[in-house]
Amino acid sequence: MKPYSATKTILVVPLLLALTLFSGPNQAEAIHPQQVIQNVTDELLSLLEQKKQQGKGEIDKTLFLAELETVLNPAVDYEKFSKGVMGKYYRRSTDLQHQQFIDVFKKSLFAAYGNAFMALDNEKIIIEPYDKPLRTKATIKMDVHTSSGKVYPIAYSMHLTGNDEWKLKNVIVNGMNLGLTFKNQFLSLMSKYRDVDKVIQHWSSDIPNEST
């Protein structure tokens, strides 16, 4: 498969490759996951290039993150992702708390990935062929080859929603399980504040990598 340009900082790649795929009765008409990956990646890289040209190298971060969110929102299952992060506290929380946490969780993801994405550089992305039958779960694997010769493996955990859409629910980057990492951070904040509302209130300010 043809390599694609991406960013030097690979933590953004999971969001770049979040995808939506229709299944069910219209399975024969569905776009294959690898083609969707190509389309989403190209769209986001095009967005970044436009911003670079408009700003002569300087990007309006706030505007860029808003547009990035618009592109990626339909492809990420934030409810499923955040449910895994909250763990046992999801069942002990109210629907309002669930939604409030999803809101701050999304912001932390886009802040972290957006900053990484704007780090800029050209790399090669090679997506492994996915030739297994599509059921309710799928893992899309790829390698990011950096200019220094390093290779970062990434695995994207996808699931088929009740609306027959394939969405991202977790990602493993170079052996680091991001869902588990955020879950450990949630547990740490719960240990500190002992209250879900306070964890939600302090989530953005207490997550160390949001502004990096």
What tens digit of pLDDT does each residue of 101-154 get? 999 998 887 776 666 566 545 677 787 888 888 888 888 888 878 778 888 888
- Residue 2 covered by a domain: no
pLDDT of residue 4: 45
**CB 123 within 8 Å of CB 146:** yes
By C-alpha distance, which of 199, 173, 161 is closest to 76? Answer: 161
Question: How does residue 189 score in pLDDT terms, banded at 50, 70 and 90?
Answer: very high
By C-alpha distance, which of 35, 34, 75, 70 is closest to 165? Answer: 75
- Residue 3 covered by a domain: no
Indicate the number of domains in the chain. Answer: 1
pLDDT of residue 136: 82
- Residue 26 covered by a domain: yes
* Element containing residue 173 per DSSP (H, E): strand 166-173
- Residue 78 covered by a domain: yes
Question: How does residue 196 score in pLDDT terms, banded at 50, 70 and 90?
Answer: very high
- Residue 183 covered by a domain: yes
Question: How does residue 201 score in pLDDT terms, banded at 50, 70 and 90?
Answer: very high
β-bridge mates for residue 158, sequence order? 138, 168
pLDDT digits (tens, 9 = 90+) for 65-114: 888 788 778 778 899 999 999 999 999 999 999 999 999 998 887 776 66
pLDDT of residue 2: 47
194 phi and psi angles, rounded to 5 deg: 55, 35
Instruction: For residue 134, give the DSSP letter.
Output: P
- Residue 212 covered by a domain: no
By C-alpha distance, which of 201, 150, 169, 7 is closest to 76? Answer: 169
pLDDT digits (tens, 9 = 90+) for 11-26: 444 444 443 333 343 4
β-bridge mates for residue 152, sequence order? 144
Token pair, residue 80, equals 């499923």
Domain that holds residue 189: 10-206
Global confidence as pTM? 0.76
**CB 71 within 8 Å of CB 18:** no
pLDDT of residue 35: 67
Read off the CATH number of the domain in which 145 is found. Answer: 3.10.450.710
pLDDT of residue 115: 66
User: What percentage of the chain carries pLDDT values higher than 70?
Assistant: 69
**CB 125 within 8 Å of CB 142:** yes
Taking CB atoms within 8 Å and a gap of at least 24, the contacts of 124-127 are 124/3, 124/4, 124/5, 124/6, 125/3, 125/4, 125/5, 125/6, 125/13, 125/41, 126/1, 126/3, 127/1, 127/34, 127/37
Lowest average pLDDT, out of 29-33, 65-69, 100-104, 185-189, goes to 29-33
- Residue 24 covered by a domain: yes
- Residue 179 covered by a domain: yes
Give the chain's mean pLDDT: 76
